[in-house]
Amino acid sequence: MSSDPFERPRAANGRAPDVFKTGGWIPMRQHRDVDEVDFAIVGTGAGGGTLAARLAEKGFSVVAFDAGPYFRPLEDFASDETAQEKLYWNDPRVVQGADPIVMGGKNSGKTVGGSMVHFAMVSLRFRPEWFKARSTLGYGADWPIGWEEMWRYYDQVERDLSISGPITYPWGPPRPRYPYRPHPMNAAAEVLARGCEAMGMKWTPTPLATVSAPRGEAHPCVYRGFCRFGCSTNAKQSTLNTYIPRAIRAGAEIRDLAMVGRIETDAGDRATGVHYHRDGQWRFQKARNVIVAGYAVESPRLLLNSATDRHRDGLANSSGLVGKNLMTQPNQAVYGKSKDEIRWNKGPPSLAITEHWNYDDEKDFHGGYCWMGQGPLPIEWAKTMTTSRGIWGDELRLAMQDYNYQVGVKMVGECLPSENNRVELADQKDRYGLPVAKITFGWSENDKALIRHALDQMEMSMEAAGVTDLFRQEEDANHLGGTVKMGDDRRSSVLDADCRSWDVPNLFVCDGSVFPTVGGVNPSLTIQAIALRTADRIEQLAAHGDL
């Protein structure tokens, strides 16, 4: 019998859960709080989990903390939308602004492995120009990293996750063949493809982080479509079943149910460790370096909550930009009815994609977007119907009977950075007694123009594919970024190209918050590529005595 993953930490007593076996364990090296470890990492998601593996593999001692539990997908994940809400960061947050962001399942996870445990697995590379959006495309900001270097790290993360993708990808500079073959397309993906073909646009099977053939102990995908509620077969290549087991094998320690409340700094400008809450008490882990990887809301919150007399506006915040420039990607959709049965919940939701509008600059707004197939499960679909069409009761019940005939496409778009959109501290406290995040957001005029354009194009494509009874889901947003941005200049950024704080030299932030611009594709592959690069850079810095 296995314990309840929420009741008490599972990663303890020299072992951690084996994610590939019901009730299984793997040995794990552990450190004492008084041991000064090389790296304390806050968060084990796309950024933190990847770094934990690479740094441990490079021989550093690593302790990685996550506020969430340590799941074994085979035994802990139910095929039940409601039960699986246990994966989300549902702790209180204050949202406000012209377009308040709905927090929770859509954008934040709270488990070992982070949001990738319930992400939709769409694994895309940035368009090269986006790394220099300001100088080549005239909007947003430049990244301090060039695309050629990123391309190499994309190669690496695609291999590490065995991305299943098309034989040739239609857009951007050449890339190596995806490690695994593409998945079969479901009927929803075929509708997307037909719409694109009718409009003369290219489309492709989506590169996905779920395996189309066995990989080690991971079973291949069974196309049951529970991806965004936790994949119970381990087909999904999330941090939880890729980098985390690698990290532990290489000697890293993972601490689950361990909420970091504050980063401690000495009288100078160096971090000395982290205060964390685990097993009912506050503790302090000593560390030579601290890496924050809690995603675009929790990372700035932790920095702000770690203010000292010397760092009154929050740690690493001499630029005043910690928490600013919050971006969320527009995630609007067009839905309708097909005359043929679709059964869109069968398979990963986004089996086909078009990036056409990311590579077309003949538009009267900045930024790009892509759109992809959809497969909302019934509860999510019912919610979409009530919010977008305003139908309830009997009308909703009748409309739900068309579930197997519904089809649609959803965009992931670029939101431009604005200092008005931000994460601050609220007066309210959470269960640990820590001030919660206050999130202010509103779409800019450019964002609205991009969304309108996308909705029009998506609607045309659905019409062209013969879909009827169309309606728009106008209010939705997903991936976050921008709140701890990297850059070339300490006055206009919080971190340098190595994700290292300009102010506190042994403090790094490495997750979705470091993006100066979010581009028009899903972010996690880019987050992980940055994490791989950061690990390499840390190794080089250490070799030169610069850590």
d(CA 197, CA 465): 9
d(CA 393, CA 391): 7
**Selection from 384, 476, 448 nearest residue 106 by Cα:** 476
Contact status, residue 44 vs residue 244, Cβ threshold 8 Å: yes
Closest CB to other proteins among 75 and 197?
Answer: 197
The CB-of-424 to other proteins minimum distance in angstroms stands at 45
User: Looking at 109-117, 143-151, 421-429, 454-462, which segment touches ligand FAD (CB under 6 A)?
Assistant: 109-117
Retrieve residue 390's tokens. 């305003």
For 264-271, the CB contacts below 8 A with 24+ separation are 264/306, 265/306, 265/308, 265/310, 265/311, 265/315, 265/504, 267/310, 269/310, 269/503, 269/504, 269/505, 270/504, 270/505, 270/506, 271/315, 271/504, 271/506, 271/507
Site string for other proteins, 231-260 (x = CB under 8 A): --x-x-------------------------
The CB-of-79 to ligand SF4 minimum distance in angstroms stands at 9
Closest CB to ligand SF4 among 221 and 509?
Answer: 221
Closest CB to ligand FAD among 399 and 532?
Answer: 532
**At CA 80, angle to CA 64 and CA 474, rounded to 5?**
85
User: Looking at 32-40, 42-50, 177-185, 339-347, which segment touches ligand FAD (CB under 6 A)?
Assistant: 42-50
Q: Indicate whether 226 belongs to the interface with other proteins (CB under 8 A).
A: no
Retrieve residue 361's tokens. 């600059």
d(CA 386, CA 475): 12
- The residue of the chain with the least Cβ separation from ligand FAD equals 45
Q: Which residue of 104, 220, 261, 466 would you call a contact of other proteins, by CB under 8 A?
A: 220
d(CA 4, CA 347): 29
In this structure, is the dihedral angle defined by the CA atoms of residues 343, 348, 349 and 351, taken in order, positive or negative?
negative
In this structure, is the dihedral angle defined by the CA atoms of residues 236, 238, 244 and 250, taken in order, positive or negative?
positive
Q: Indicate whether 158 belongs to the interface with other proteins (CB under 8 A).
A: no
Q: Indicate whether 293 belongs to the interface with ligand FAD (CB under 6 A).
A: yes
Interface residues with ligand SF4 (CB under 6 A)?
Answer: 210, 221-227, 231, 233, 235-236, 347-348
Q: What are 264's strand-pairing partners?
A: 273
Could you say which residues in the range 500-529 bind ligand FAD, by CB under 6 A?
Answer: 511-512, 522-525, 527
Could you say which residues in the range 112-141 bind ligand FAD, by CB under 6 A?
Answer: 114-116, 118-122
Query: Which chain residues interact with other proteins by CB under 8 A?
Result: 166-167, 179-182, 184-185, 190, 193-194, 197, 203, 205, 212-215, 219-220, 222, 233, 235
Q: List residues near ligand FAD by CB under 6 A.
A: 42-48, 65-68, 105-111, 114-116, 118-122, 228, 259-260, 293-295, 298, 302, 479, 511-512, 522-525, 527
